[in-house]
Amino acid sequence: DTGVSQDPRHKITKRGQNVTFRCDPISEHNRLYWYRQTLGQGPEFLTYFQNEAQLEKSRLLSDRFSAERPKGSFSTLEIQRTEQGDSAMYLCASGGRGDQPQHFGDGTRLSIL
């Protein structure tokens, strides 16, 4: 399978705990995106990397959120001190040339108890 891979698929945690998600993009893609999707809504942009450089961050990305892509390959998204409102599907996408669409993984569903 050469698509975008996300791990874990589902994470259940207690409020106040830290969580980390991983995304492995399509190997030849240099762009990597994180989105968040809540029930009944479309995906909302969080942040975007070109290789290892983080180029844009949404205002949705509070101080509790951090994303990294240290070697320009896989990326991690960490949420510290989770809150009930963080419960959502976290989607990763990757992209190659600009005339090619962003390709999405199947997401990590975060449930906060």
Residues within the interface to another protein (CB under 8 A): 4, 31, 33, 35, 40-45, 48, 55-56, 58, 91, 93, 95, 98-107
Closest CB 24 distance from another protein, rounded Å: 13
Closest CB 87 distance from another protein, rounded Å: 17
CA distance 29 to 35: 17
Tokens 């942040």 belong to residue? 47
First to last CA, the chain: 33
CB 96 within 8 A of CB 30: yes
Nearer to another protein, 78 or 106 (CB): 106
Nearer to another protein, 45 or 76 (CB): 45
Nearer to another protein, 4 or 19 (CB): 4
Residues 6+ apart with CB under 8 A from 112: 13, 14, 15, 82, 83, 84, 86, 87
Closest CB 15 distance from another protein, rounded Å: 25
CB 105 within 8 A of CB 33: no
Closest CB 28 distance from another protein, rounded Å: 15
Nearer to another protein, 31 or 69 (CB): 31
